[in-house]
Amino acid sequence: MNTFWHWFVVVVTLASLAGCLWLLFANAKAPGGTDTGHVWDDDLREYNNPLPRWWLGLFVITVVFGAGYLVVYPGLGNYAGWSQWSSADQLDGDLAALQAKRDALFARFRDQDVAVLAGSADARSLGRELFLNNCAGCHGADARGALGFPDLTDDDWLYGGSAEAIVTSIAQGRAGVMPAFNGTMDAASVEALVTTIVRWSDASLAAETRAAGMARFRTTCIACHGPEGQGNPLIGAPNLTDGVWLHGGNPEQVRHSILFGRRGSMPAHQTLLSADEIHVIAGYVYGLSQVR
């Protein structure tokens, strides 16, 4: 605040306090009993009387308190007050105290393996709170996901379900892309491929259809999903043989995935959460798929 506005605030504030005192004492000296002329209910009249002494005293005490407050705390322009208090310092102190409490809370879990945390009731409880605040928006409060968002309670993992892989997924995020093949194959090849993928483990599928579908699979899909269709966790390519489908497993949904591709993104949380928080959430998520 520059000098002009500093003195502007000081003068206006002190003048307001002085004006309040003047108004109070001027009213106290006014003659009482003056009829204002306002009458209600035939005989109820309004008189202009000074404030009662006790009420006047309360107002004066309030003004004096306000003046004392401005001496101790900032309020007069650039004057910092006798206490040197500031809202920024107060916020920093509160945040430091909160951080100290959080450090103490997480300290006992810091050196424990993620797999150990999965078996700790206290760690799971804390991990669930963090999960609900940071992960439930996509994966659901029950962690069972939805179309396009993985179910974290099963043992099907796009990038691996080890403790290390889960920590990496949370901290660094994941980005998966299924390329679109619309226009690169004829309709008959598309239908054979869709049928073969949807009915991968169905022994009753016609040999001719399976042969046509596998021929297309080997030229189009094998690089990512592998020769047996079991996926590749290094790139997040899903297993096509286990009946778990991120974007739906009926023929229409599979056809859409093949023709138009899919994109998925797990945002990185290492700038949003501390290493301790990620560690505890990973323990909670790891435990979800271990309970059978």
Helix, strand and coil percent figures for the chain, each rounded to 5:
55, 10, 35
Predicted confidence (pLDDT) per residue in 68-98, tens digit: 999 999 999 999 999 999 999 999 999 999 9
Same domain, 225 and 147: yes
Same domain, 265 and 202: yes
Three-class DSSP category at 268: coil
Measured CA to CA, the distance from residue 247 to residue 234 in angstroms comes to 19
> What pLDDT score was predicted for residue 286?
96
Kindly tell me if the per-residue pLDDT of 152 is higher than 80.
yes
Same domain, 53 and 171: no
> What pLDDT score was predicted for residue 49?
81
The residues pairing with 76 across neighbouring beta strands, listed in sequence order, are: 79
Predicted confidence (pLDDT) per residue in 191-217, tens digit: 999 999 999 999 999 999 999 999 999
> What pLDDT score was predicted for residue 186?
93
The pTM of this model reads: 0.74
Last residue of a domain, one of 72, 100, 125: 72
Written as one letter, the residue type at 227 is P
242 inside domain:
yes
Structural domain for 212, as ranges? 114-288
105 inside domain:
no
> What pLDDT score was predicted for residue 291?
57
Domains held by the chain: number: 2
- The lowest-confidence range among 20-29, 110-119, 191-200, 243-252 is 20-29
Same domain, 119 and 263: yes
